[in-house]
Structure 1
Amino acid sequence: MRTPRRTQEWQRMGGHHRRPDEHELGRTPRAAWLVLAPIALLTVVAMAWLWPTEDLTPPEGQGGAAQYDGTITAIESSECTEDLTDDVNGCGTATVALEVPEDDPRQNPVDEAEVPLPNGPGAPEVAEGDDVVLILNETPDGESYAIVDHQRGTGLVVLVGAFVLAMVAFGRWRGVSALAGLGVTFLLLLYFVVPAILAGSPPLLVAIVGSAAIMLTVLYLTHGLAATTTVAVLGTLASLTLTGVLSALAVSALHLTGVTDDLSLAVGMTQGVNTEGLLLAGIVIGSLGVLDDVTVTQSATVAELARANPAYGALQLFRAGSRVGRSHIASVVNTIVLAYAGSALPLLILIVANTESLGSVVTDQIIAQEVVRSVVATLGLVAAVPLTTGLAALVLRSHPDPQA
């Protein structure tokens, strides 16, 4: 098939309005690798330096109460002799068939126990046939069991299985790579971030290093070794660093301690973790998930604009990409605020119910902490849009346009 004469003349003129191909848009400039390679090396070195080497297994006798699984075979109700403050199951006992593990340290473990029906705030509502979790308490009168929860293993397996099937069916190989990235994220959190914090390393530093490792691994694993991915990585790293600096300044200026409930107090007292640093680490890690969404979207948007409009120069790509970014930020900001408000809703209800002044509610440390989370994360997102869009416009433009 012959090439049209007009196309031949245009090619001979070497016009800069040609359409960039997939290979051209996927090529990462050497300058980007010169920046990214030292960052990756520094991340690996920092992980090796912060990697916990101590045994974090609690000393014998300092762990929690022993837990056992069991199935309720019978329930015998009885009349209550006194009023219950929070009646869930009423008075009586439940007969539970216990699942005793083979390595149980007791000499003569029982395989059936009579336990009182659970009542009180948060107590599980039980019925005959339910699979439950019990704790064993050693008392002067002997062993005593108590039902504390339902078993959820089967339900969680079914739910996770449905999630995996949906990801693979819809995303195909991209869905498989996304699941692999999710697995890497959990592994880094469980085997590096949490143990390193428990070992006494600064939580903010651990969070930044762990987030960098997650970002470098997951983004390339999910989106491939493309120029758009490299741009997203650099934009995420710059925005994440800014988020960490802003969160440290805000927490220090507002005198936030990170202790807002019994859980954070227990972590600080029993594990010796710096709760202020833990608050900063939570802000950084929580921001990462939204940041990489914004940066990947902006990078891909600029790439599509460059492919659809080969005449666009860097400035035109930046302006067009920024318009998309502003719309994205407007929706993401509401998502962040609602996510943090939802997680703190029980505490928010309790504070509002016991406080008359709206001003005192907003300035309470619990609410102030959530405000700092939302505001700092939003500032990081706002910065991510121009940073990533500008970098993408420089890297992904087909040819410089003198008129742009």
Structure 2
Amino acid sequence: MLWPGGAPAHERTGVGFDRQTQQATVTTVVSVSCKSVNAGGETPTGDTSTAEGSSAEQQAKGTCKKATIRVDTGDDKGRTFTEIVQPDQSRQLHEGEKVVVAYEPSAPRDLQYSVADVNRRFPMGLLAGIFALVVVIVGRLRGVMALVALAVSFLLLNFFVLPAILQGSNPLVVAVVGSSAIMLIALYMCHGLSARTSVAVLGTLISLLLIGVLGSQFIGWAALTGNTDDNTGLIHGLYPSIDMSGLLLAGVIIGSLGVLDDVTVTQTSAVWELHEANPTMGWRGLYRAGIRIGRDHIASVVNTLVLAYAGAALPLLLLFSIAQSSVGTVANSELVAEEIVRTLVGSIGLVASVPVTTALAALVVSADRPGAETAGAGAGGSAAAPTAPAPAPATSVSAGTADGRPTPARGGKGRRRRH
């Protein structure tokens, strides 16, 4: 029902990511006097202790670079243009460097092209190749399946989640449905079709729904608009029908999914291994043992999520630190409040997933206990077994089951079952 027919078309604004771009190469770079190439008239004056004054001083007396760039793709392939690089610019151009240039067809011919960014395709592709190689070497078949699941996740995001939101569908519903599809495909593909995986899937789904409900409530109560920077402002300008606060909530859900998968799969596997170690343990014992493991998992996961969001917002936090703003002022600003709500809602869902998944796993796996036939064979095994040279002690392993496997010894004071 939510599957989109494709993202609606729009006219390019020429702003931010909504620009036409081409690949290009820096052919030559020569040093020139900034005063001779800058368009300003008189030498700027002012307080050089400020950022503006220092920049003006460098542009007046410093040495600039005049770069010649050749367009390598598009209709203007082979065309060259020049660009002046100021000495205080953070990105300096170098001869032979691959760059991305922005194209504005409505501008005068000499100003149609400008350097927008550096071409990072090769190092990014090399890093992705190293990542894939390491995953396959260590994970083997599981690693291959994990990479396939990762590719499927990106396809679902690109062909379902993003176009559906652009077409005006409810971002919360799209995020829950898309995340559920990603979760089902990734978990079953990587861990196989089994009861263990199904428990992890169910625990993840319950936690996702909890995150959705909590996020919806607190984003509304905190009056978060989701429109806090140039990119979200551009999206809102191009597609006014998109619910930006809902888009924020969708990001919270999708961002929490990857860590949720890790928590639920780990907890389910822990309970299953506990059952394998002691098949006679009931679901309460399995739950208590599993939740002890889960508490350690909670501590590390919550810290991981908080640090991940803090790292993403580090430049913003640095600006507040420079401004010497109080903690209350910083937390109350919408930019930081978004990250706080995102972190806390996601963390609540992660913490809740531990007891939920552990309880589900304990209930499911405890049903797979030794059957009556095995118990009967263990109790009467000594009568059916061949005559032994000496009777086994009461605390040792019993004679065996019908298929010849030894039954586990019972602890305690050696009391025998009455018949």
The question of a shared fold, defined as TM-score above 0.5 by the shorter chain, is answered with yes
Residue type of the alignment partner of 2:2: L
Q: 1:229 aligns with which of 197, 205, 209?
A: 197
Question: What's the CA shift for 1:385?
Answer: 0.8
Query: CA 1:220/1:373 → structure 2, altered by over 3 Å: closer, same or farther?
Result: same
1:279 and 2:252 are equivalent in the alignment: no
Distance across 1 between alignment mates of 2:330 and 2:5: 43
Kindly indicate whether the alpha-carbon contact (under 8 Å) linking 1:115 and 1:147 is maintained by their aligned counterparts in 2.
no
1:243 and 2:216 are equivalent in the alignment: no
Kindly indicate whether the alpha-carbon contact (under 8 Å) linking 1:95 and 1:112 is maintained by their aligned counterparts in 2.
no
Distance across 2 between alignment mates of 1:383 and 1:256: 24
Residue type of the alignment partner of 1:58: H
User: 2:33 maps to which residue?
Assistant: 79
Distance across 2 between alignment mates of 1:270 and 1:90: 41
User: 1:56 maps to which residue?
Assistant: 8
Kindly indicate whether the alpha-carbon contact (under 8 Å) linking 1:93 and 1:114 is maintained by their aligned counterparts in 2.
no
Kindly indicate whether the alpha-carbon contact (under 8 Å) linking 1:313 and 1:400 is maintained by their aligned counterparts in 2.
no
What CA deviation, in whole Å up to 9, does each residue of 1:130-168 have, x standing for no partner? 111112234664242211211111112211111111010
The TM-score with structure 2 as length reference comes to: 0.77
Kindly indicate whether the alpha-carbon contact (under 8 Å) linking 2:275 and 2:281 is maintained by their aligned counterparts in 1.
yes
1:69 and 2:37 are equivalent in the alignment: no
1:93 and 2:66 are equivalent in the alignment: yes
Kindly indicate whether the alpha-carbon contact (under 8 Å) linking 2:208 and 2:349 is maintained by their aligned counterparts in 1.
yes
Kindly indicate whether the alpha-carbon contact (under 8 Å) linking 1:123 and 1:149 is maintained by their aligned counterparts in 2.
no
Unaligned ranges ≥5, structure 1:
1-48
The 5 Å alignment of 1:304-315 reads: 304-315=273-284
Kindly indicate whether the alpha-carbon contact (under 8 Å) linking 2:81 and 2:110 is maintained by their aligned counterparts in 1.
no
1:382 and 2:382 are equivalent in the alignment: no
Question: What's the CA shift for 1:91?
Answer: 2.3
1:349 and 2:322 are equivalent in the alignment: no
Kindly indicate whether the alpha-carbon contact (under 8 Å) linking 2:20 and 2:102 is maintained by their aligned counterparts in 1.
yes
SS state of the match for residue 104, structure 2? strand
1:189 and 2:144 are equivalent in the alignment: no
Query: CA 1:354/1:60 → structure 2, altered by over 3 Å: closer, same or farther?
Result: closer
SS state of the match for residue 193, structure 2? coil
User: 1:297 maps to which residue?
Assistant: 266
User: 1:266 maps to which residue?
Assistant: 234
Query: CA 1:268/1:317 → structure 2, altered by over 3 Å: closer, same or farther?
Result: same
1:157 and 2:161 are equivalent in the alignment: no
After superposing the two structures, state which structure 1 stretch, 54-63 or 179-188, moved more.
54-63
SS state of the match for residue 210, structure 1? helix
Residue type of the alignment partner of 2:347: T
SS state of the match for residue 34, structure 2? coil
Residue type of the alignment partner of 1:125: Q
User: How many residues were matched structurally?
Assistant: 348
Distance across 1 between alignment mates of 2:87 and 2:168: 36
- Identical-residue share of aligned pairs (%): 45
Kindly indicate whether the alpha-carbon contact (under 8 Å) linking 2:66 and 2:83 is maintained by their aligned counterparts in 1.
yes
Whose relative contact order is higher, 1 or 2, with alpha carbons under 8 Å and at least 6 apart? 1
1:392 and 2:365 are equivalent in the alignment: no
What CA deviation, in whole Å up to 9, does each residue of 1:175-226 have, x standing for no partner? 0010011011100111110111111111111101101111111110011001
Distance across 2 between alignment mates of 1:331 and 1:95: 51
Question: What's the CA shift for 1:61?
Answer: 7.6
Residue type of the alignment partner of 1:176: V
Distance across 1 between alignment mates of 2:127 and 2:116: 23
Distance across 2 between alignment mates of 1:210 and 1:141: 45
User: 2:81 maps to which residue?
Assistant: 114
1:332 and 2:301 are equivalent in the alignment: yes
Query: CA 1:224/1:361 → structure 2, altered by over 3 Å: closer, same or farther?
Result: same
Residue type of the alignment partner of 1:85: S
User: 1:215 maps to which residue?
Assistant: 183
Kindly indicate whether the alpha-carbon contact (under 8 Å) linking 2:26 and 2:96 is maintained by their aligned counterparts in 1.
yes
Kindly indicate whether the alpha-carbon contact (under 8 Å) linking 1:136 and 1:143 is maintained by their aligned counterparts in 2.
no
Question: What's the CA shift for 1:315?
Answer: 0.6
Residue type of the alignment partner of 2:95: E
Root mean square deviation of aligned Cα = 2.5
Distance across 1 between alignment mates of 2:193 and 2:89: 48
The TM-score with structure 1 as length reference comes to: 0.80
Distance across 1 between alignment mates of 2:110 and 2:218: 50
Unaligned ranges ≥5, structure 2:
36-42, 45-53, 372-419
Distance across 2 between alignment mates of 1:139 and 1:392: 62
Question: What's the CA shift for 1:350?
Answer: 1.7
After superposing the two structures, state which structure 1 stretch, 285-294 or 346-355, moved more.
346-355
Question: What's the CA shift for 1:302?
Answer: 0.4
After superposing the two structures, state which structure 1 stretch, 233-242 or 350-359, moved more.
350-359
Residue type of the alignment partner of 2:140: R
SS state of the match for residue 260, structure 1? coil
User: 2:339 maps to which residue?
Assistant: 370
Query: CA 1:263/1:230 → structure 2, altered by over 3 Å: closer, same or farther?
Result: same
Residue type of the alignment partner of 2:151: G
Residue type of the alignment partner of 2:93: V
Distance across 2 between alignment mates of 1:65 and 1:159: 27
Residue type of the alignment partner of 1:128: E
